[in-house]
Structure 1
Amino acid sequence: MTDERTAEEVEATLRIGELADRSSMSLRTLRHYDEVGLLTPSGRTVGGFRLYTERDVDRLLLIRRMKPLGFSLDAMAELLRVADSLESAATPEEAAGIRTRLDAFIADAAARRAKLEEQLAMADEFLALLRAR
């Protein structure tokens, strides 16, 4: 899909404000994600307003889940490219190579999650110390 598709060509569209409401993200963040290529609108109205589909919503929710894990915008973009390329793999060998790259992201995300769990445990200990005073 390209930016040049019109509202009539894009099914079940949301404007950027509706997407912001559904995702609990700011308009500024959504525009930034468009500028850096993380979330490209599926179409535009005749007046040039961005239009998003349910697939775009799913993509945005994936991006939103990466943020707390501390992934950079570049890492997010790479993960999205890998995930997108898995759908279009031409051969089983190509799919296996892509899956290997995806597995590396999974391992990285798991390590980041474990670090967050450690930080939460430390925060719980800190709160317990404060409450004990």
Structure 2
Amino acid sequence: MTEDAARAHLQIGQVAERTELSIKTIRHYDEVGLVTPSARSTGGFRLYTEDDVERLLVVRRMKPLGFTLDQMRDLLDALEVLDDADSGPDERARASAIVLDCRTTATQSCEKLRRQLDYAEEFTALLIARDTR
């Protein structure tokens, strides 16, 4: 690997810092084939590109919304199809349907989380009002 190629890649610790995911989680995503590093060092260490980091950030955003690993994989694949100018119309239509489905699910999940946060804040306010110190 050339020096320029090595500089273009990030090691797993750097990726963990950038994505706020643990090294263990990033390794797990590699093991299940969700986000595979683009390269390996001569010593076998995982090396990631900016595109890999972006994929991990998509996964990080999906995780708190309750998406499964399969749904995450489907969305990542769909986004790749939509980014590929050589994708055919049928393939693009399927990919667009997956993105729309994920958007609907994400919107519903956000609404649920907002309600839960409202309840948590109401409860906290109740406890503050009852503070007996």
Query: Does the pair score TM above 0.5?
Result: yes
CA drift of 1:21 comes to 1.7
Unaligned runs of 5+ residues in structure 1 are 1-5
Tell me how large the CA RMSD over aligned residues is: 1.8
Q: How does 1:32-47 map to 2 (within 5 A)?
A: 32-47=28-43
Query: Whole-Å Cα distance in 2 between the matches of residues 124 and 105 of structure 1?
Result: 28
CA drift of 1:61 comes to 0.9
CA drift of 1:14 comes to 0.5
Unaligned runs of 5+ residues in structure 2 are none
CA drift of 1:10 comes to 6.6
Query: Whole-Å Cα distance in 2 between the matches of residues 129 and 59 of structure 1?
Result: 41
Q: TM-score, normalised by structure 2?
A: 0.86
Question: Helix, strand or coil: the match of 2:87?
Answer: coil
Question: Helix, strand or coil: the match of 1:38?
Answer: coil
CA drift of 1:11 comes to 6.5
Corresponding residue for residue 88 of structure 2: 91
The answer to whether structure 1 residue 29 and structure 2 residue 25 are counterparts is: yes
AA matched with 1:32: H
Question: Helix, strand or coil: the match of 1:59?
Answer: helix
CA shift digits 1:62-86 (9 cap, x unpaired): 1111111111212211111221122
Corresponding residue for residue 101 of structure 2: 104
Q: Count residues with an aligned counterpart.
A: 128
Query: Whole-Å Cα distance in 2 between the matches of residues 117 and 83 of structure 1?
Result: 27
Greater RCO (CA < 8 Å, at least 6 residues apart)? 1
Is the contact between residue 40 and residue 46 of structure 2 (CA under 8 Å) also seen in structure 1?
A: yes
Question: Helix, strand or coil: the match of 1:51?
Answer: strand
**Matching residue within 114, 118, 126 for 2:115:** 118
Q: TM-score, normalised by structure 1?
A: 0.86
Corresponding residue for residue 77 of structure 2: 81
Query: Whole-Å Cα distance in 2 between the matches of residues 60 and 126 of structure 1?
Result: 34
Is the contact between residue 81 and residue 87 of structure 2 (CA under 8 Å) also seen in structure 1?
A: no
The answer to whether structure 1 residue 54 and structure 2 residue 50 are counterparts is: yes
CA drift of 1:7 comes to 6.1
